[in-house]
Structure 1
Amino acid sequence: MLKIKDLVFDSWGRRFFDGASVNLPKDAKVGLVGRNGVGKSTLFKLILGQLVLGSGEISLPRRARLGSVDQEHPATPTPLLETVLAADLERADLLARLETAEPEDLGDIYTRLIDIDADRAPSRAAEILAGLGFSTEDLTRPMAEFSGGWRMRVALAAALFAEPDMLLLDEPTNYLDLEGALWLEARLRKYPHSAMVISHDRELLNSSVDHILHLADGKLELYTGGYDDFERLRTEKMRLTEATRIKIEAKRAHMQSFVDRFGAKASKATQAQSRMKMIAKLPTTEAMVQERVAPFTLPSPERPLAPPLLRIENGTVGYDDAPPILKRMNLRLDIDDRIGLLGVNGAGKSTFAKLVAGALTLRDGDMHRSPRMKVGWFHQHQIEAMDPKDTPLSIIRRAMPEASEAARRSKLSQFGFSYEKVETTVASLSGGERARLLLNMVAMEAPHLLILDEPTNHLDIDSRRALLDALNDYEGAVILISHDRSLTQLVADRLWLAADGGIEPFDGDMDDYAKLVLDRARIAARAPTQVHAEIVVAPPAPPTPAARAKAPTGTARRRAEAAETALAKATAALNEVDLALARPDAFAKAAELGKKRQAAQAALESAEAEWMDAQEAYAALTS
């Protein structure tokens, strides 16, 4: 699908690509990986023609359509659904031509509209928007009413809806919550054409792509499989390369020793000359250099406090005179708790983080917290609020006013900043470097509680692993808000869910939550009008597959009638559970409802099989 040959590109005083070549298969789903700053986004710009090649070639099939998400969609008065529908340029053009087309051309236009399934376009667009977190009411709202983060989702929805032949996505999960990221993983797996995704999300790279394209040292190398496969294959390749290098160097040293010993002797001159030629033909080898990632420094509190660190009883919190964001909270946080805080954007996760950090106070209820508790709070907006003229050294000077200059530079060195980087302006630091600086800064005073709100947005995979190692070594409490499912799984011991104006413990693990989110998305896509349906009575537990497996006795006709009745009941039972999953409070019973749905689905499949057997038997007798 995409062919890159001998690509060379220099810019900003450095070489990004040095003879890079790769051929991507048609309809491949490719994860583009590499360290921060190696040129992944630059490659996208070269493919899109936004930058000029130094030399080499980037080619796509004729008439292949490229699609990307460059920036948030503008704040226009156009309704949300119409904005996404307009992304299908061919459909929009055909509909516009209908207004002025000559009668003899109408047939061709209608035929093409049927070919591209134009009638189903609104429902397909609504399905994508529902998966990205938009409600049915949002579909008619003008774009100007959405914030920048939501307009980024609109741009992503438009790109997915247009279904270009080659879709380019640069860190698409950075502006999604965990629910949106889970939906996107499933969507990318089913994308009908080629896609290339820059991502540091290990779960997405393992579940949604079938190739990994690795960018390092100006070269591109393609691996088959997900990220775990890539790591295994690359580690093995490095091991074999290093073993080959050692053998070649040993052979070179052995022959050079012979030349050094006998090169001056006339009787051995011929052999010495022969070995010198052999040495010249040996391939040049370089030692494999492992890319090093500086560790994160998260010092543990010196003195643990008496439990609990925090207790909230019937707490309510909000902003000014606006309606409360969170109500009826009854929570306890102990000294060694590792909490993963789940919930869609807008459910109150960041509000809760502000409350625990001390930036907000309760309106009602009681909150008991240790007066000696130190809190380290990282949130993504800190990166945006940094002064672009600041430097790491000036920032650490304010944080360590009594320390010597040598001590400050030593501290920055521990954070992973080289001598040159400590006086680099924030504007010139990468997003990953800024995140690294702030993460280390918030933990510098050995807090009893770390609150991390989307800490991985700008970190590459190796830096995320370093953060994971530091968090597992840290002995205080942690509240983690992250769309990185892998990090949440490996850090959190307990899950809390922000939903329906409150926060409650979640009964299940991350797999249960992922299944619940995807089930809800499927239901919303299948029947969007049912998403807000009210159910007064809780759905009964569906019959088990074993109970349905008993075939009715009697004549074939009675058996067929009984099977049809059983099938109708099984279908109704599954619909009941689906409606329960669509309720706003479904998250509180995720594990239970997930098990009920599995049982109901199994019962339905059993009833369908019995019904088909009974119908075939009855048809055979009557014929």
Structure 2
Amino acid sequence: MAACGVILTSTLPAIDGDLLNYVTGVLEDADEFNNANDVYEAVGGVLHEVAQDKETDEILKLCEKLLKAVKVGTDQGSNASTSMILLDAPVHIGARLEAEEHGEGDASIWMVKKDNSMLVNKKKLEKAEAKIKAKQERRAQKEVTTTKQTGSTITASASQAVNRKEQKMDESGNSRATDIRIENFDVAFGDKVLLKEANLTLTFGRRYGFCGRNGAGKSTLLKMISSGELRIQSHISILHVEQEVIGDETIALDSVLESDVLREKLLKEERQLIEKLNATSPGGADPTVSSRLSQVYASLEEIEADKAPAKAGMILAGLGFSQDMQKMKTREFSGGWRMRLALARALFSKPDLLLLDEPTNMLDIKAILWLESYLQNWPSTLLVVSHDKNFLDVVSTDILYLHSKTLDAFKGDYETFFKTKTERLSNQQKEFEAQKQFREHVQGFINRFRYNANRAALVQSKIKMLDKLPVLKPVERDPDVILKFPAEFEKLSPPILQLDEVEFYYTKEKPIFKKIDISANMESRTCIVGENGSGKTTLLKILIGEHHPVAGVLHKHRNLRVGYFSQHHVDQLDMDQTPIEVVASRFPGHTVERYRHQLGSFGVTGELATRSVASLSGGQKSRVAFALMCMGNPNFLILDEPTNHLDIETVEALGKAINAFKGGVMLVSHDESLIRMTCKELWVCANGEVTSMEGGLDEYKRIVEAEFAAQK
């Protein structure tokens, strides 16, 4: 071991005495090492700790030197003479060992002990292992910090080819084109390319539904258009409904009226002109002021400014604002209602291009029906991202489909698009297989007669023909979306969740529920519908125990484990953490592989799991929330608006996962396709009561449409 010590101290002068003794002690048992890799596995981590500037190859060479020194010492030792002891009787090894430990008996060949200096010092070993572990933790923390910093600072960028002729016309103010064309453009989010050499044409007066997988870049493209990163004609007005209205002292109705910039400008000028006229004597009025005031009156009459308050009130009423709510200050509304205000402002101002990103997320079924009807008569161009197939069927005249970094345009509604896309993929697959078979046939001929002199010319022509054929590319299909809810738990005898004569209110003057009686079991597939403010979310919070009934009783099975998905799940996630850290902070004590497996069950795989939550799309954040909800292995799911931000394929996967789930499910949703796919019972929240709708969703829609028609 002295030779090993010399090699270590000469090669690694920085090695301290404890580590030196530890390494030489490990190398003492030479029979354990057959090659340098064995030595590296045993002490390589410690050597890297000492020599942080050395590469793996250099440490391996050092291990080879140590191996040679160990083997040489062993060979020399084997030549020494050994004394032979002839046993005259059988020896009980256990008894001799015990006697030796107590200092009794003579040493024998069975009890030869190594010198203590040759044993591994446990304290030194623990110290070395602690140093290695600390280094690994520092390295892992550095990687996580870098990932989070990268994720939080990622920004979107866009580039495009500009038509010089159109640019000159636009700059001169002579362009009157109403159609929008963005040609040969790229969009990237950080290092990830979302669109490459894409083309977008929006014809004036058409309504475009925008589809694609979560994270494909739909919302990013809308932001690039609204921010001016992708250049369109300057005379075309754009409004992107993305952020909620800022709460202040402005009345809701006035907030909508102020969105008509031209009307506000004319009204302001009217007030200024009238003040000037009132400030002068009757005979000394400036005739130009009177003339301009007449022009302003004519302009206000032309845009029907006097009808604007009634029109704004109609839009607000359609989106669920009562007469009293229209008179409330914007600061008094929650975030969801402020988003509705933003939508109302957009509908009232009527820009040349209206960009809507998931407008149905904040609406109940009644408001969705109103919005569908209103947008069917939209006078300008509309581009709307939505996961609601029924909404797209009713509203869209065209569909834009973002996939594989390209944009494809389809005429017709979503149903037509889906059929066309399916047929197109089927035809492309058939064409691919036919081309592949043809190539294999030609290649087989070439291989067969390659060395036949009589057919050399024919073989050469076949080779040239293959070279001229286009590159054979397989059909690109989006991978199937799979969501997996927990599957292993025992069945519970009903009822597992029940409300008896429950009353609830925040203030006595406005009761939310009056003596409701409902129950659920492990076979429940219940959907709760109703207007916003009717108490759907409050009912769920009573069931999970977050709110306590004012009167009545909540019964829960002792083995019930509820998984709750909140419609505000995004607000409950730490935007600075990675998905792995989010799950680990709520459920500590598991391995990283366990957290990755849980996230992978909901499609958050690979680098998505190590990016900051802030850099994920809305749908990807929802998947993280699903993974978090199911980490506790729930046997009953309560889902509040689970389809918000999810793409159409993920909504379908959610429906399949709910159907495959062996526990009970209760959900609040306005997504017609999910309701029809999963729910066996429909509950309606209205007027402080929760009632079962016998005719299901069709009957509820019929009642809502009748009310909507009566209001018209």
TM-score interval (norm. to shorter): 0.7 to 0.9
Distance 1:448 1:243 in 2: 45
Gaps of 5+ in 2: 1-178, 274-288
The structure whose Rg is larger is: 2
For the pair 1:48 / 2:226, whether they are aligned, the reply is: yes
SS of the residue 2:518 aligns to: strand
Tell me the equivalent position of 1:92. Answer: 264
Tell me the equivalent position of 1:435. Answer: 622
Closer/same/farther in 2, CA of residues 158 and 403 from structure 1, 3 Å limit: closer
Deviates more, 1:497-506 or 1:416-425: 416-425
Distance 2:606 2:235 in 1: 50
Distance 1:315 1:370 in 2: 17
Aligned partner (choices 186, 203, 215) of residue 25 of structure 1: 203
Displacement of 1:318 after TM fit? 3.7
Deviates more, 1:353-362 or 1:499-508: 499-508
Tell me the equivalent position of 2:500. Answer: 313
The 5 Å alignment of 1:422-501 reads 422-501=609-688
Distance 2:488 2:401 in 1: 39
Code of the aligned partner of 2:241: V
**Fraction of identical pairs, as percent:** 35
Aligned partner (choices 403, 417, 442) of residue 604 of structure 2: 417
Q: Does the CA contact (< 8 Å) of 2:215 and 2:619 recur in 1?
A: no
Aligned partner (choices 235, 241, 254) of residue 422 of structure 2: 235
Deviates more, 1:380-389 or 1:214-223: 380-389
Distance 1:264 1:252 in 2: 19
Tell me the equivalent position of 2:413. Answer: 226
Q: Deviations over 1:256-314 (max 9, x none)?
A: 33333444545433323322232122122211132124421223463322222233222
Tell me the equivalent position of 1:384. Answer: 571
SS of the residue 1:325 aligns to: strand
Closer/same/farther in 2, CA of residues 270 and 300 from structure 1, 3 Å limit: closer
Deviates more, 1:115-124 or 1:300-309: 300-309
Distance 1:358 1:29 in 2: 44
Q: What's the C-alpha RMSD, in Å, of the aligned pairs?
A: 2.5
The 5 Å alignment of 1:195-274 reads 195-274=382-461
Closer/same/farther in 2, CA of residues 422 and 38 from structure 1, 3 Å limit: closer
Distance 1:405 1:23 in 2: 46
Gaps of 5+ in 1: 527-623
Distance 2:572 2:598 in 1: 23
Tell me the equivalent position of 1:187. Answer: 374
Q: Does the CA contact (< 8 Å) of 2:356 and 2:384 recur in 1?
A: yes
Distance 2:205 2:592 in 1: 55
SS of the residue 2:367 aligns to: helix
Deviates more, 1:231-240 or 1:86-95: 86-95
Tell me the equivalent position of 1:78. Answer: 250
Distance 1:288 1:59 in 2: 33
The 5 Å alignment of 1:169-184 reads 169-184=356-371
Closer/same/farther in 2, CA of residues 156 and 410 from structure 1, 3 Å limit: closer
Q: Does the CA contact (< 8 Å) of 1:300 and 1:447 recur in 2?
A: no
Deviates more, 1:186-195 or 1:261-270: 261-270
Q: Does the CA contact (< 8 Å) of 1:209 and 1:225 recur in 2?
A: yes
Code of the aligned partner of 1:259: I
Q: Does the CA contact (< 8 Å) of 2:574 and 2:582 recur in 1?
A: no
Closer/same/farther in 2, CA of residues 335 and 260 from structure 1, 3 Å limit: closer
Aligned partner (choices 238, 253, 257) of residue 66 of structure 1: 238
Closer/same/farther in 2, CA of residues 413 and 448 from structure 1, 3 Å limit: closer
Tell me the equivalent position of 1:135. Answer: 322
Distance 1:278 1:75 in 2: 69
Q: Does the CA contact (< 8 Å) of 1:310 and 1:369 recur in 2?
A: yes
SS of the residue 1:141 aligns to: coil
Displacement of 1:399 after TM fit? 6.1
Displacement of 1:428 after TM fit? 3.3
Distance 1:449 1:263 in 2: 68
Displacement of 1:377 after TM fit? 1.1
Closer/same/farther in 2, CA of residues 78 and 511 from structure 1, 3 Å limit: same
Displacement of 1:507 after TM fit? 4.3
Tell me the equivalent position of 1:513. Answer: 700
Closer/same/farther in 2, CA of residues 157 and 401 from structure 1, 3 Å limit: closer
Distance 1:320 1:520 in 2: 29
Closer/same/farther in 2, CA of residues 376 and 216 from structure 1, 3 Å limit: same
Deviates more, 1:512-521 or 1:235-244: 512-521
For the pair 1:145 / 2:332, whether they are aligned, the reply is: yes
Code of the aligned partner of 1:329: I
Distance 2:629 2:509 in 1: 30
